[in-house]
Structure 1
Amino acid sequence: MTEPWTSDTPKVITLPSGRRVRGRGLRHELPEGQTPTLAVHLTRHEPPEVPWESLWIPWRDFWLPAEPRHAMRTLRIAYDRALDERVEICCGGGVGRTGTALSALCVFEGMAPEEAVRWVRRTYHSRAVEVPWQRRFVRQVSAARVASAQ
Protein backbone atom coordinates (compact mmCIF):
# COMPACT_ATOMS: atom_id res chain seq x y z
CA MET A 1 0.00 0.00 0.00
CA THR A 2 1.13 3.51 -0.81
CA GLU A 3 0.97 6.51 1.47
CA PRO A 4 -2.14 8.45 0.32
CA TRP A 5 -2.24 12.06 -0.75
CA THR A 6 -2.04 14.40 2.19
CA SER A 7 -5.02 16.72 2.48
CA ASP A 8 -2.81 19.80 2.12
CA THR A 9 -1.46 18.72 -1.29
CA PRO A 10 -2.50 21.35 -3.87
CA LYS A 11 -5.53 20.44 -6.03
CA VAL A 12 -6.29 17.25 -4.09
CA ILE A 13 -9.97 16.67 -3.53
CA THR A 14 -11.45 14.17 -1.12
CA LEU A 15 -14.41 12.30 -2.57
CA PRO A 16 -17.28 11.41 -0.22
CA SER A 17 -15.93 7.85 0.03
CA GLY A 18 -12.64 9.22 1.40
CA ARG A 19 -10.68 8.57 -1.79
CA ARG A 20 -8.30 11.43 -2.57
CA VAL A 21 -7.54 12.40 -6.15
CA ARG A 22 -5.41 15.23 -7.50
CA GLY A 23 -6.46 17.22 -10.53
CA ARG A 24 -3.72 19.06 -12.38
CA GLY A 25 -2.97 21.09 -15.47
CA LEU A 26 0.01 19.74 -17.39
CA ARG A 27 0.94 23.26 -18.54
CA HIS A 28 1.69 24.13 -14.91
CA GLU A 29 4.71 23.11 -12.87
CA LEU A 30 4.54 19.81 -11.06
CA PRO A 31 3.64 20.67 -7.46
CA GLU A 32 6.33 20.06 -4.87
CA GLY A 33 5.90 17.20 -2.45
CA GLN A 34 4.23 13.90 -3.13
CA THR A 35 4.13 12.48 -6.63
CA PRO A 36 1.38 10.28 -8.04
CA THR A 37 1.59 6.53 -8.21
CA LEU A 38 -0.84 6.63 -11.15
CA ALA A 39 -1.55 9.52 -13.52
CA VAL A 40 -4.38 9.53 -16.04
CA HIS A 41 -3.55 11.88 -18.92
CA LEU A 42 -6.48 13.36 -20.83
CA THR A 43 -4.68 14.74 -23.87
CA ARG A 44 -4.96 14.79 -27.64
CA HIS A 45 -1.49 13.35 -28.17
CA GLU A 46 0.23 10.61 -26.22
CA PRO A 47 1.93 12.22 -23.24
CA PRO A 48 5.66 12.00 -22.55
CA GLU A 49 7.02 9.37 -20.21
CA VAL A 50 6.78 10.08 -16.48
CA PRO A 51 8.59 8.30 -13.63
CA TRP A 52 5.32 6.80 -12.31
CA GLU A 53 2.66 4.66 -13.91
CA SER A 54 0.41 6.48 -16.35
CA LEU A 55 -2.63 5.77 -18.48
CA TRP A 56 -3.70 7.78 -21.50
CA ILE A 57 -7.19 8.71 -22.62
CA PRO A 58 -7.08 10.38 -26.06
CA TRP A 59 -9.17 13.52 -25.48
CA ARG A 60 -9.02 16.83 -27.37
CA ASP A 61 -9.35 20.10 -25.50
CA PHE A 62 -13.01 21.24 -25.20
CA TRP A 63 -14.24 17.93 -26.63
CA LEU A 64 -15.03 14.41 -25.51
CA PRO A 65 -12.86 11.32 -25.22
CA ALA A 66 -12.11 9.79 -28.62
CA GLU A 67 -13.34 6.43 -27.29
CA PRO A 68 -15.91 6.99 -24.51
CA ARG A 69 -16.05 3.33 -23.39
CA HIS A 70 -12.26 3.19 -23.09
CA ALA A 71 -12.37 6.44 -21.11
CA MET A 72 -15.00 5.06 -18.73
CA ARG A 73 -13.00 1.87 -18.14
CA THR A 74 -9.79 3.81 -17.54
CA LEU A 75 -11.49 6.27 -15.17
CA ARG A 76 -12.96 3.31 -13.28
CA ILE A 77 -9.44 1.90 -12.86
CA ALA A 78 -8.32 5.28 -11.50
CA TYR A 79 -11.30 5.42 -9.15
CA ASP A 80 -10.65 1.92 -7.80
CA ARG A 81 -6.95 2.56 -7.31
CA ALA A 82 -7.58 5.91 -5.59
CA LEU A 83 -8.75 3.95 -2.57
CA ASP A 84 -5.15 3.29 -1.53
CA GLU A 85 -2.92 4.99 -4.13
CA ARG A 86 -2.05 8.55 -5.16
CA VAL A 87 -4.04 9.03 -8.36
CA GLU A 88 -3.75 12.15 -10.48
CA ILE A 89 -6.10 13.18 -13.29
CA CYS A 90 -4.57 15.75 -15.64
CA CYS A 91 -5.15 17.60 -18.89
CA GLY A 92 -3.58 20.68 -20.43
CA GLY A 93 -5.15 23.34 -18.24
CA GLY A 94 -6.54 21.12 -15.50
CA VAL A 95 -10.10 22.47 -15.78
CA GLY A 96 -12.49 21.13 -18.44
CA ARG A 97 -11.36 17.59 -19.20
CA THR A 98 -9.98 17.08 -15.70
CA GLY A 99 -13.20 18.41 -14.16
CA THR A 100 -15.24 16.14 -16.41
CA ALA A 101 -13.19 13.11 -15.37
CA LEU A 102 -13.47 14.06 -11.69
CA SER A 103 -17.24 14.35 -12.17
CA ALA A 104 -17.23 10.82 -13.62
CA LEU A 105 -15.47 9.61 -10.46
CA CYS A 106 -18.25 11.25 -8.44
CA VAL A 107 -20.80 9.31 -10.51
CA PHE A 108 -18.92 6.14 -9.53
CA GLU A 109 -19.49 7.32 -5.94
CA GLY A 110 -23.23 7.24 -6.61
CA MET A 111 -23.88 10.93 -7.29
CA ALA A 112 -26.34 11.96 -9.99
CA PRO A 113 -24.59 13.58 -12.98
CA GLU A 114 -25.80 17.14 -12.25
CA GLU A 115 -24.89 16.78 -8.58
CA ALA A 116 -21.43 15.46 -9.56
CA VAL A 117 -20.73 18.47 -11.77
CA ARG A 118 -21.90 20.90 -9.06
CA TRP A 119 -19.78 19.10 -6.44
CA VAL A 120 -16.64 19.23 -8.61
CA ARG A 121 -17.21 22.90 -9.40
CA ARG A 122 -17.58 23.63 -5.70
CA THR A 123 -14.66 21.54 -4.43
CA TYR A 124 -12.17 21.57 -7.33
CA HIS A 125 -12.66 24.41 -9.85
CA SER A 126 -15.60 26.72 -10.51
CA ARG A 127 -15.27 26.32 -14.30
CA ALA A 128 -14.85 22.52 -14.33
CA VAL A 129 -16.82 20.73 -17.06
CA GLU A 130 -16.62 23.61 -19.50
CA VAL A 131 -18.96 22.70 -22.36
CA PRO A 132 -22.41 21.05 -22.67
CA TRP A 133 -21.09 17.88 -24.32
CA GLN A 134 -18.77 17.29 -21.35
CA ARG A 135 -21.87 17.35 -19.11
CA ARG A 136 -23.43 14.88 -21.55
CA PHE A 137 -20.42 12.58 -21.12
CA VAL A 138 -20.96 12.62 -17.33
CA ARG A 139 -24.59 11.57 -17.99
CA GLN A 140 -23.30 8.76 -20.26
CA VAL A 141 -21.06 7.53 -17.44
CA SER A 142 -24.11 7.46 -15.17
CA ALA A 143 -26.22 5.59 -17.74
CA ALA A 144 -23.44 3.01 -18.27
CA ARG A 145 -23.08 2.58 -14.49
CA VAL A 146 -26.81 1.96 -14.11
CA ALA A 147 -26.87 -0.44 -17.08
CA SER A 148 -23.96 -2.48 -15.71
CA ALA A 149 -25.64 -2.77 -12.31
CA GLN A 150 -28.73 -4.42 -13.84
Structure 2
Amino acid sequence: MGETWEPGRAGVLRLPSGRLVRGRALRGPVPAGATPGFAVHLLGRRPPDVPWEARWLRWPDFRLPADRAEAREVLGEAWERAGAERVEFACGGGRGRTGTALACLAVLDGVPAERAVEFVRRHYDCHAVETPWQRRYVRHFAD
Protein backbone atom coordinates (compact mmCIF):
# COMPACT_ATOMS: atom_id res chain seq x y z
CA MET A 1 0.00 0.00 0.00
CA GLY A 2 1.07 3.58 -0.60
CA GLU A 3 0.40 6.62 1.58
CA THR A 4 -2.39 5.49 3.89
CA TRP A 5 -3.43 6.37 7.41
CA GLU A 6 -1.33 5.57 10.43
CA PRO A 7 -2.95 2.70 12.36
CA GLY A 8 -4.19 3.57 15.84
CA ARG A 9 -4.85 7.25 15.09
CA ALA A 10 -8.24 8.73 16.02
CA GLY A 11 -11.00 7.62 13.67
CA VAL A 12 -8.85 5.19 11.68
CA LEU A 13 -10.56 1.88 10.90
CA ARG A 14 -8.59 -1.13 9.66
CA LEU A 15 -10.66 -3.28 7.34
CA PRO A 16 -10.00 -7.04 7.19
CA SER A 17 -8.02 -6.60 3.93
CA GLY A 18 -5.65 -4.23 5.72
CA ARG A 19 -7.04 -1.11 4.07
CA LEU A 20 -7.16 1.85 6.45
CA VAL A 21 -9.90 4.47 6.25
CA ARG A 22 -10.69 7.38 8.55
CA GLY A 23 -14.04 8.57 9.78
CA ARG A 24 -14.58 11.93 11.41
CA ALA A 25 -17.05 14.66 12.29
CA LEU A 26 -17.10 17.68 10.01
CA ARG A 27 -18.33 19.79 12.93
CA GLY A 28 -14.95 19.33 14.58
CA PRO A 29 -11.55 20.55 13.47
CA VAL A 30 -9.52 18.64 10.90
CA PRO A 31 -7.31 16.28 12.90
CA ALA A 32 -3.63 17.18 13.10
CA GLY A 33 -1.25 15.30 10.86
CA ALA A 34 -1.78 13.81 7.44
CA THR A 35 -4.65 15.00 5.29
CA PRO A 36 -6.84 12.83 3.10
CA GLY A 37 -6.07 12.18 -0.52
CA PHE A 38 -9.77 11.58 -1.10
CA ALA A 39 -12.80 12.31 1.08
CA VAL A 40 -16.46 11.40 0.94
CA HIS A 41 -18.72 13.96 2.59
CA LEU A 42 -22.07 12.55 3.68
CA LEU A 43 -24.33 15.57 4.11
CA GLY A 44 -27.78 16.82 3.19
CA ARG A 45 -26.28 20.07 1.83
CA ARG A 46 -23.21 20.75 -0.27
CA PRO A 47 -20.17 20.89 2.04
CA PRO A 48 -17.56 23.65 1.96
CA ASP A 49 -14.60 23.13 -0.33
CA VAL A 50 -11.53 21.37 1.04
CA PRO A 51 -7.95 21.43 -0.28
CA TRP A 52 -8.04 17.70 -1.21
CA GLU A 53 -10.18 15.75 -3.65
CA ALA A 54 -13.66 15.15 -2.27
CA ARG A 55 -17.01 13.82 -3.37
CA TRP A 56 -20.31 14.89 -1.89
CA LEU A 57 -22.88 12.19 -1.37
CA ARG A 58 -26.26 13.73 -0.55
CA TRP A 59 -27.23 12.02 2.68
CA PRO A 60 -29.52 13.87 5.12
CA ASP A 61 -28.87 13.48 8.85
CA PHE A 62 -30.41 10.32 10.40
CA ARG A 63 -31.45 9.16 6.93
CA LEU A 64 -30.10 7.16 4.01
CA PRO A 65 -28.35 8.26 0.81
CA ALA A 66 -30.66 10.18 -1.52
CA ASP A 67 -29.38 8.15 -4.50
CA ARG A 68 -28.49 4.58 -3.59
CA ALA A 69 -26.91 3.80 -6.97
CA GLU A 70 -24.62 6.81 -6.59
CA ALA A 71 -23.82 5.73 -3.02
CA ARG A 72 -22.80 2.26 -4.20
CA GLU A 73 -20.57 3.85 -6.89
CA VAL A 74 -18.93 6.34 -4.50
CA LEU A 75 -18.37 3.72 -1.79
CA GLY A 76 -16.89 1.34 -4.35
CA GLU A 77 -14.51 4.05 -5.56
CA ALA A 78 -13.52 4.87 -1.98
CA TRP A 79 -12.86 1.21 -1.18
CA GLU A 80 -10.64 0.87 -4.27
CA ARG A 81 -8.71 4.05 -3.49
CA ALA A 82 -8.22 3.08 0.16
CA GLY A 83 -5.79 0.42 -1.01
CA ALA A 84 -3.22 3.06 -1.94
CA GLU A 85 -4.20 6.42 -0.47
CA ARG A 86 -5.72 8.13 2.56
CA VAL A 87 -9.52 7.97 2.26
CA GLU A 88 -11.78 9.75 4.73
CA PHE A 89 -15.52 9.60 5.38
CA ALA A 90 -17.14 12.48 7.20
CA CYS A 91 -20.60 13.67 8.20
CA GLY A 92 -21.71 16.24 10.77
CA GLY A 93 -21.13 14.13 13.88
CA GLY A 94 -19.01 11.31 12.46
CA ARG A 95 -21.25 8.50 13.74
CA GLY A 96 -24.53 7.80 11.95
CA ARG A 97 -23.90 8.41 8.27
CA THR A 98 -20.15 7.94 8.58
CA GLY A 99 -20.61 4.71 10.54
CA THR A 100 -23.14 3.46 8.00
CA ALA A 101 -20.78 4.21 5.11
CA LEU A 102 -17.91 2.50 6.95
CA ALA A 103 -20.10 -0.56 7.58
CA CYS A 104 -20.94 -0.69 3.86
CA LEU A 105 -17.21 -0.44 3.11
CA ALA A 106 -16.66 -3.37 5.47
CA VAL A 107 -19.20 -5.36 3.45
CA LEU A 108 -17.28 -4.53 0.26
CA ASP A 109 -14.15 -5.71 2.07
CA GLY A 110 -15.65 -9.11 2.86
CA VAL A 111 -17.32 -8.68 6.26
CA PRO A 112 -20.69 -10.47 6.16
CA ALA A 113 -23.44 -7.86 5.90
CA GLU A 114 -25.17 -9.11 9.05
CA ARG A 115 -21.95 -8.51 11.05
CA ALA A 116 -20.74 -5.25 9.48
CA VAL A 117 -22.45 -2.89 11.96
CA GLU A 118 -20.99 -4.85 14.88
CA PHE A 119 -17.55 -4.72 13.20
CA VAL A 120 -17.68 -0.93 12.84
CA ARG A 121 -19.00 -0.43 16.36
CA ARG A 122 -16.18 -2.55 17.75
CA HIS A 123 -13.37 -1.04 15.70
CA TYR A 124 -14.48 2.55 14.97
CA ASP A 125 -17.16 3.93 17.34
CA CYS A 126 -19.52 2.06 19.65
CA HIS A 127 -22.33 4.45 18.68
CA ALA A 128 -21.85 4.17 14.90
CA VAL A 129 -24.87 3.47 12.68
CA GLU A 130 -27.55 5.26 14.66
CA THR A 131 -30.94 4.24 13.26
CA PRO A 132 -32.75 0.97 12.51
CA TRP A 133 -33.06 1.93 8.84
CA GLN A 134 -29.30 2.57 8.63
CA ARG A 135 -28.68 -0.91 10.08
CA ARG A 136 -31.16 -2.39 7.58
CA TYR A 137 -29.43 -0.51 4.73
CA VAL A 138 -26.09 -2.11 5.67
CA ARG A 139 -27.64 -5.60 5.91
CA HIS A 140 -29.01 -5.23 2.37
CA PHE A 141 -26.10 -3.28 0.86
CA ALA A 142 -24.72 -6.31 -0.99
CA ASP A 143 -28.13 -7.34 -2.39
TM-score bucket of the superposed structures, by smaller chain: over 0.9
Q: Percent identity?
A: 53
Aligned match of 2:61: 61
Q: How many residues align?
A: 143
Following TM superposition, where does structure 1 have runs of at least 4 consecutive aligned residues deviating by more than 4 angstroms? Answer: none
- For the pair 1:117 / 2:117, whether they are aligned, the reply is yes
Aligned match of 1:132: 132
Matched residue SS, 2:142:
helix
Q: Which has the higher helix share?
A: 1
Matched residue SS, 1:142:
coil
Q: CA deviation at 1:9?
A: 2.5
Instruction: Map 1:32-51; keep pairs closer than 5 Å.
Output: 32-51=32-51
Matched residue SS, 2:118:
helix
Q: CA deviation at 1:2?
A: 4.6
Matched residue SS, 2:13:
strand
Structure 2, unaligned stretches of length 5 or more?
none
Matched residue SS, 1:135:
helix
Instruction: Verify the 8 A CA contact 2:2 2:83 in the aligned structure 1.
Output: no
TM-score by length of 1: 0.92
Matched residue SS, 2:117:
helix
